[in-house]
Structure 1
Amino acid sequence: MRTHGWSGATPADDDEAVERILTAARHAIDRSGSEFSVAEVARDLGVTRQTVYRYFPSADALLTATAVAQTAHFLDVLAEHLNDIRDPATAVVEGIAYTLERLPHEKYLNLLLGPGRAGAFTAGVTSDTALAFGRSLLQRFSVDWAAAGISGPQLDQLVEHMLRIVQSFVIDPGRPPRRGEDLRAYLTTWVAPALTGTDLPPV
């Protein structure tokens, strides 16, 4: 870890440096929205842009990492919302629907999944960052995935499938946009059957 700058208070290690960069990025996003700059973050930290780029290769990468770090609140709210649902198909349908409904109201979730500058994430639903977020989402469900016969690569593919569905609704919500019971009925018809069969295909 380089020790130059940091306004005279050098981080103890790389983990602390990353934490401080993410905190500065969050403050910059709060001020400037998704159009914040790495120069703005570096200035707040008292370091050069090159120092920030050492940990995050681009402004979009920093935006995505900051948004992911700030979605813990949403994941907690989602877990509470789904707390009483044990059926895998019902949980997936409600998880997708609730995520789409909360998207306009959750600032950092919207930065992560919504259109715009963070669209690099939206366009890359198979990226490690996207899949890690999706796994975090599924882990909040009150579903015994192993008992349902879904584990390992199958669980990873379920994460990918859910992210692809969310992506499609973000890009084109429908005409008119599906909401509420209409959205849930659509997902129940076309998504739930993949999880209600007794034998899922091996992967």
Structure 2
Amino acid sequence: MRTHGWSGAKPASDEEAIARILAAASQVIEDRGADFSISDVARTVGVTRQTVYRYFASTEALLIAAAVRAVDGFLDRMTAHMAGITDPAEAVTEALATALEWLPREKYIGLLIVPGGSRHVESVTSDVALKFARDMVERLDVDWAAAGFHDAELDELGEHLLRVLQSFVIDPGRPPRRGDELRTYLRRWVGATVRTAAQNSEPGAG
């Protein structure tokens, strides 16, 4: 492994080098939002642009890897917060409300899930965002199969929740709903739809 630079602290392995580059990419995007470059990432790590490209063949490859890292951390925290909420409608309501409350502090996640958030991530936004939404649904403490939801329905549910999330991020309302008011709104117009879908999927329904 070549270890030029690294601010005087060379990584012990390629894995450590990659982890440091990904951490720097996340930090640069958190600090600067959409206005960033590979040079910014390299400067933060203390290496040349060529060193970054040695580990990531393109800007898109770096962004995808950093996106997965950021999304996993966000969803880990979401999973812990949502533990014990087993009702599908309540789980979806709280997951959406929590995501909307946390997103202002998660610039990178916001860039990834909102179309056009950055010229750099536009090509990967759709795939990463849909995976984020589906993973969020699957991590909820809900027995989706018992509730009548299978893979196709969970894909559609993830997409629908993503669309709701994107809509609130783009236009949070005037004034924005928060706290109990936000949850009441989501419970009525999103949670109720999930509950109806679950009821219609029960044996003998229809």
Deviation at residue 176 of structure 1 after TM alignment: 1.2
Structure 1 range deviating more: 115-124 or 189-198: 115-124
Equivalent residue, structure 1, for 2:188: 189
Structure having the higher helix fraction is 2
Where 2:4 maps in the other structure, the secondary structure is helix
Equivalent residue, structure 2, for 1:100: 100
1:57-104 deviations in whole A, cap 9, x for unaligned?
44xx74564244124343233222221210111100110011101112
Task: Please tell me the residue identity of whatever aligns with 1:185.
Answer: T
Aligned counterparts of 2:87 and 2:172: Cα–Cα separation in 1: 26
Deviation at residue 36 of structure 1 after TM alignment: 2.4
1:120-179 deviations in whole A, cap 9, x for unaligned?
769987x22112112221232110111111121111111100000000000111111111
- Note the aligned Cα RMSD (angstroms): 3.6
Deviation at residue 194 of structure 1 after TM alignment: 2.1
Aligned counterparts of 1:183 and 1:119: Cα–Cα separation in 2: 31
Aligned counterparts of 1:105 and 1:50: Cα–Cα separation in 2: 27
Equivalent residue, structure 1, for 2:85: 85
Task: Please tell me the residue identity of whatever aligns with 1:178.
Answer: R
After superposing on structure 2, the runs of 4+ consecutive aligned residues of structure 1 that deviate more than 6 Å are 8-13, 119-125
Task: Please tell me the residue identity of whatever aligns with 1:136.
Answer: D
Equivalent residue, structure 1, for 2:164: 165
Where 1:99 maps in the other structure, the secondary structure is helix
Aligned counterparts of 2:192 and 2:31: Cα–Cα separation in 1: 44
TM-score where L is the length of structure 2: 0.73
Structure 1 range deviating more: 99-108 or 79-88: 99-108
Q: Which runs of 5+ in 2 are unaligned?
A: 202-206
Aligned counterparts of 1:178 and 1:52: Cα–Cα separation in 2: 46
Equivalent residue, structure 2, for 1:175: 174
Report sequence identity in percent. 45
Aligned counterparts of 1:86 and 1:12: Cα–Cα separation in 2: 42
Aligned pair count reads: 194
